[in-house]
Amino acid sequence: MAKHTVVTMPGDGIGNQVLPESLRVLKAVGFDAEYIHADIGWECWCNEGNALPDRTIDLLVKHKLGLFGAITSKPNKAAQAELKPELKPELRNKGYVYYSPIVTMRQKFGLDICMRPCVGFTGNPLNYIRKKVAGGFDEPQIDTTVFRQNTEGMYVGIEWTNPPDNVRAALASHPKFKAFANVPGPDLAASVRIVTKPAARRIVTAAFEYAKKRGFKGITICEKPNVVRETSGMMEETAKEVAKNYPGIALWSTNIDAQLMWLNKNPEDYNVIVSSNLFGDILSDAFAGLVGGLGFAASGNIGDQIAVFEPTHGSAPKYAELDPPIVNPIAMILSAAMMLDHIKEDAKADRIRKAIAAVIREGKVRTYDMMRLSGGPKAISQGAASTIQMTDAILEKLR
């Protein structure tokens, strides 16, 4: 019997290409696991009216650990239009509404801690460089992990177009709503941003614990409390409270807009950043852009009982049917390494990261994104490695 059981959810598009590559690497480092396939994503929505089927939920409840590939996610009107024609009337009569299955999964299982490491590998031609004042260029060594609160904020899904009377009445109780009092209902949309102190405390504590483990001198709380006073204010005040428990680690505060400017000036100064859901999503993509893009961006969604690990890229459907596949599997493989960290298989995780680092440093095998080529069937003939060839190169370093 295997030591671990992992629920594998390739999902949509290139998720079906990159997730199997991560399993090849896990096998190569001797990870003792049974893998159980689970359905998720766009095809589930089109066929069943549910992008996260109950059978997949049951598997995650039972086994507690998941690897996830990618999903296609669209606005609800587009999602309704793409239901299977023969099922559309039946499904619409049941009142199904499309929600992103990964967001639903995070909320259902309380996967409130999202870790998104952004690390620059030496030799990556996509790494950020900057011009020196005295001439020439340097390449800052970026080692940043964004801690994103994963279940609240702007992603709670509490929103309306043409709010019902009771909601509109509640909004009208706030003096700032007077400016919108005469806007017709169909012309008015509202989304609610919710922050709770317990969730804020958990994500900030996780960030401090990580900084303590890594020996970093401080963490940064990145919000916008000067404008978004209540919710960002609660995030920042909670961070100040938690900071009292970590006297050896500094707490710095930045506004989201200023932070995006500073990450292009001195990104190496920010090792740990903690933020609410939307701001954390933006920050992690911005930092990923400094270390090679989404082909190198892994993440973990971690709760008390269940954890799911995934690359942060989307399903890229335009590349999904290419043969051979051309997408970069490194983000998915790094996500698998994060899973190993989570279950205390640290030595295996380190071997994977060192193998990836060796391939990138050597520079002989590069996928199309690393060569700054347009994605498409011509990429291979232009010298780009396929998805499988990149994995093969990593496996060679593991031998």
CA–CA gap between residue 321 and residue 13 (Å, rounded): 8
Peptide bond into 324 cis (omega under 30): yes
Closest CA to 325 of 13, 10, 9: 13
Q: DSSP state, 99? A: -
Q: What is the mean pLDDT of residues 346-366?
A: 98
Note the pLDDT of residue 48.
Answer: 85
Note the pLDDT of residue 99.
Answer: 81
Contact 284, 272 (CB under 8 A): no
Residue-wise pLDDT for 63-103, tens only, equals 999 999 999 877 767 766 766 564 556 665 666 777 889 99
Note the pLDDT of residue 84.
Answer: 59
CA–CA gap between residue 347 and residue 326 (Å, rounded): 29
CA–CA gap between residue 44 and residue 96 (Å, rounded): 13
CA–CA gap between residue 135 and residue 340 (Å, rounded): 43
Q: Over pLDDT 70: what percentage of the chain? A: 95
What fold characterizes domain 128-154+193-290? Isopropylmalate Dehydrogenase (3.40.718)
Q: DSSP state, 128? A: -
CA–CA gap between residue 164 and residue 188 (Å, rounded): 11
CA–CA gap between residue 10 and residue 189 (Å, rounded): 34
Note the pLDDT of residue 72.
Answer: 85
Q: What are the φ/ψ torsions at residue 143 (nearest 5 degrees)? A: -140, 80
Q: Over pLDDT 90: what percentage of the chain? A: 89
Note the pLDDT of residue 42.
Answer: 87
Give how far Cα 321 sits from Cα of 14, 327, 378, 392, Å. 8, 11, 14, 21
Note the pLDDT of residue 334.
Answer: 98
Q: What are the φ/ψ torsions at residue 375 (nearest 5 degrees)? A: -70, 140
Q: What is the pTM of this model?
A: 0.94
User: Chain-wide mean pLDDT for the chain?
Assistant: 94
Name the segment(s) of the chain with CATH classification 3.40.718.10: 1-111+303-399, 128-154+193-290
CA–CA gap between residue 249 and residue 252 (Å, rounded): 10
**Strand locations in the chain, DSSP E?**
4-11, 33-37, 65-70, 113-119, 130-131, 137-138, 143-149, 159-161, 189-191, 218-223, 250-255, 272-275, 298-302, 307-311
Q: What is the mean pLDDT of residues 191-211?
A: 98
Note the pLDDT of residue 88.
Answer: 56
Residue-wise pLDDT for 17-50, tens only, equals 999 999 999 999 999 999 999 999 988 888 888 8
Residue-wise pLDDT for 142-180, tens only, equals 999 999 999 999 999 999 999 999 999 999 999 999 999
Place of tokens 């100040």: 240
Return the structure tokens found at 347: 């030595």
Note the pLDDT of residue 86.
Answer: 45
The architecture of the domain spanning 1-111+303-399 is 3-Layer(aba) Sandwich (3.40)
CA–CA gap between residue 363 and residue 197 (Å, rounded): 46
Note the pLDDT of residue 43.
Answer: 86
Residue-wise pLDDT for 259-316, tens only, equals 999 998 999 999 999 999 999 999 999 999 999 999 999 999 999 999 999 999 999 9
